[in-house]
Amino acid sequence: MPGRLSGKTAVIVGGTRGIGRAISRVFAHEGAKVLVAGRSEEAGERTVSGIRDAGGSASYFRTDVSNRKDVSLLVDHAVELHEKVDIACCNAGIFPSATLEEMTDNDWDRVNAVNLKGAFLVVQSCLPHMKRNGYGRIVLTSSITGPLTGFPGWSHYAATKAGMLGFMRTAALELARYNITINAVLPGNIRTEGLADLGPDYVKRMEEAIPLGKLGDPEDVAYAMLYLVSDEAKYVTGQTLVVDGGQTLPESLLALDR
């Protein structure tokens, strides 16, 4: 299957559902050998089966991204299967709602462990293999929430997504000498299972606040990531790409001519 990622091996953490599933499918369609990682074996195998049915190369590995041993085993498995790791996509993320008043230490620690520590563990585990090959493309799934906007109940989530960008910028400086780039995509409201769980009223109100008038599709994020891991972006590192339908542009709803 020829494509922009032909001959590349991609580890996609949080690749079983929603945005991650779309990333896995798009990367495989472009020729990458994809290792899909996540906690749900059922969702993982379903994603892998769909990719294989479409002619792509994919396998699943159960991983808790907040656990160092799990992440190390994941990367070791990728190397055993494909002898290298070219691309790492840090897409695992959780966003349980809790106000500052009601948030517990466990709430805070769990979101940080998955969203921020998980990205650190994946990058650190892939680094020796990328250094040895003199090549690497790392992409992070951040969010508009945190770096650009806020939303009640998500202070812990927002902190992790903003933290990912601080991590990325210093990592970009450290990794550049090895021909390893690291960039981030900041999705807005994307039509995924998690967003659907927030209910139709939330979806309707968000659509009204987006200049393009609709939620994004998971593939919109996947194609942005495809650019960042492709040869077309070989001179891009430490940068962010916002995929939000223009949501962060208007200073108020009055700016939307509807």
**Mean pLDDT across 36-46:** 94
Name the burial class of residue 124, with classes exposed (0-12), middle (13-18) and buried (19+) by CB atoms within 10 angstroms of its CB: middle
- Per the listing, tokens 């542009």 go with 249
In the chain, the percentage of residues whose pLDDT exceeds 70 is: 98
Look at residue 126 and tell me whether its pLDDT is greater than 90.
yes
Whichever domain contains 78, its CATH number is 3.40.50.720
Instruction: Give how many domains the chain has, as a whole number.
Output: 1
Backbone angles phi, psi at 37, to 5 degrees: -120, 140
Look at residue 19 and tell me whether its pLDDT is greater than 50.
yes
H helix or E strand, kind and range, residue 229? helix 218-229
How many other CB atoms are there within 10 angstroms of residue 137's CB atom? 27
In this structure, is residue 129 part of a structural domain? yes
82-101: per-residue pLDDT in tens? 999 999 999 999 999 999 99
Look at residue 220 and tell me whether its pLDDT is greater than 80.
yes
In this structure, is residue 143 part of a structural domain? yes
Q: In the sheet where 240-243 sits, what is the strand order?
A: 57-62, 33-38, 9-13, 87-90, 136-141, 180-187, 240-243
- Confidence (pLDDT) at 1: 43
- Confidence (pLDDT) at 2: 61
Between 193 and 133, name the one with better pLDDT. Answer: 133
In this structure, is residue 232 part of a structural domain? yes
Instruction: Identify the band that residue 12 occupies on the pLDDT scale cut at 50, 70 and 90.
Output: very high
Average pLDDT along the chain: 95
H helix or E strand, kind and range, residue 140? strand 136-141
User: 19: which 2 tokens?
Assistant: 């945005």
In the residue annotation, 157 being an active-site residue is answered as: yes
Task: Determine which one of 60, 157, 178, 235 is catalytic.
Answer: 157
Q: Are 51 and 25 in contact (CB under 8 A)?
A: yes
- Please give the residue range of the domain that contains residue 42: 9-243
60-69: per-residue pLDDT in tens? 999 999 999 9
First to last CA, the chain: 44
In this structure, is residue 253 part of a structural domain? no
In this structure, is residue 208 part of a structural domain? yes
Q: Are 233 and 183 in contact (CB under 8 A)?
A: yes
Residues ≥6 apart with Cβ < 8 Å to 203:
189, 195, 196, 215
In this structure, is residue 197 part of a structural domain? yes
In the chain, the percentage of residues whose pLDDT exceeds 90 is: 89
What is d(CA 47, CA 120) in angstroms, rounded to the nearest whole number?
Answer: 25
In this structure, is residue 211 part of a structural domain? yes
Instruction: List the one residue out of 138, 232, 135, 228 whose CA is nearest residue 179.
Output: 135
In this structure, is residue 254 part of a structural domain? no
Q: Are 13 and 189 in contact (CB under 8 A)?
A: no
76 CB-side CA count, 13 A: 7
User: 252: which 2 tokens?
Assistant: 């108020």
